[in-house]
């Protein structure tokens, strides 16, 4: 069933799993594509795959769930059954710097701990490591979302991405 909409008492904001609110998919697709353009069809298929387990897309809404402010996608890590990977986090450009990234990340962590019974969250970032450090993430070795590797990947060693982890 998942968590009910996360809503700080008296707050006009809610964080919800998108598969429980399919009417938000089009607006969420537009938000994600404003940051990382991709075909609407591919984006919608990704959002439609959201479920109570993994993958799961979470959205931060306001205005009676008529406006999508932020989105994050949680994905499975085949080699780590008790962890997930935050594949993407995006906040509407007009709403950045107001704590919405922190709010959606807090809900994602709660969802992972309470609903999914996970013990850790991994992510990668190119330029937001300061933000993730402030909310409790620590640097870690690169991790593959695609299963165990039996050899080193030199491309990961030279990547600009920084991998981070938070134990729940």
CA 122 to chain centre: 10
Domain boundaries, the chain: 14-118
What is the rounded distance in angstroms from the CA atom of residue 100 to the CA atom of residue 97? Answer: 8
pLDDT at 12: 84
Count CB atoms within 10 A of the CB of residue 98: 12
What is the rounded distance in angstroms from the CA atom of residue 105 to the CA atom of residue 73? Answer: 10
- Measured at the CA of 59, the angle between CA 58 and CA 64, to 5 degrees, comes to 140
What is the rounded distance in angstroms from the CA atom of residue 123 to the CA atom of residue 92? Answer: 20
Give the end-to-end CA distance of the chain in Å, rounded to a whole number: 21
For the record, the structure tokens of 66 come out as 């008529």
14-118: in CATH 3.10.20.600: no
CA 166 to chain centre: 13
Question: pTM score, two decimals?
Answer: 0.87
Task: Name which of 78, 75, 103, 105 is nearest 89 in CA terms.
Answer: 105
Task: Name which of 96, 119, 99 is nearest 109 in CA terms.
Answer: 119
pLDDT at 1: 47
List per-residue pLDDT tens for the chain, 168 residues long.
Answer: 455 566 655 678 888 999 999 999 999 999 999 999 999 999 999 999 999 999 999 999 988 888 999 999 999 999 999 999 999 999 999 999 999 999 999 989 999 998 899 999 999 999 999 999 999 999 999 988 775 554 455 555 556 889 999 999
pLDDT at 40: 95
Does residue 31 contact residue 68 with C-beta atoms inside 8 Å?
A: yes
What is the rounded distance in angstroms from the CA atom of residue 119 to the CA atom of residue 167? Answer: 6
Instruction: Kindly tell me the burial class for residue 168, based on how many C-beta atoms sit within 10 Å of its own C-beta (0-12, 13-18, 19 or more).
Output: middle
């Amino acid at each position: 069933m998942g968590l009910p909409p996360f809503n700080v008492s008296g707050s006009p904001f809610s964080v919800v799993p998108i598969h429980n609110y399919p009417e938000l998919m089009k607006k969420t697709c537009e938000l994600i594509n404003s940051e990382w353009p991709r075909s609407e069809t591919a984006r919608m298929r990704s959002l439609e795959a959201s479920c109570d387990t993994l993958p799961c897309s979470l959205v931060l809404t306001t205005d009676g769930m008529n406006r999508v402010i932020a989105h994050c996608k949680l994905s499975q890590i085949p080699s780590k059954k008790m962890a997930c990977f935050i594949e993407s986090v995006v906040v509407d450009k007009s709403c950045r710097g107001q704590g919405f990234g922190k709010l959606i990340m807090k809900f994602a962590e709660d969802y992972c701990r309470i609903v999914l019974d996970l013990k850790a969250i991994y992510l990668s970032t190119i330029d937001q490591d300061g933000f993730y450090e402030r909310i409790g993430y620590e640097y870690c070795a690169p991790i593959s979302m695609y299963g165990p590797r039996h050899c080193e990947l030199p491309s990961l060693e030279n990547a600009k991405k920084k991998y981070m982890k938070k134990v729940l």
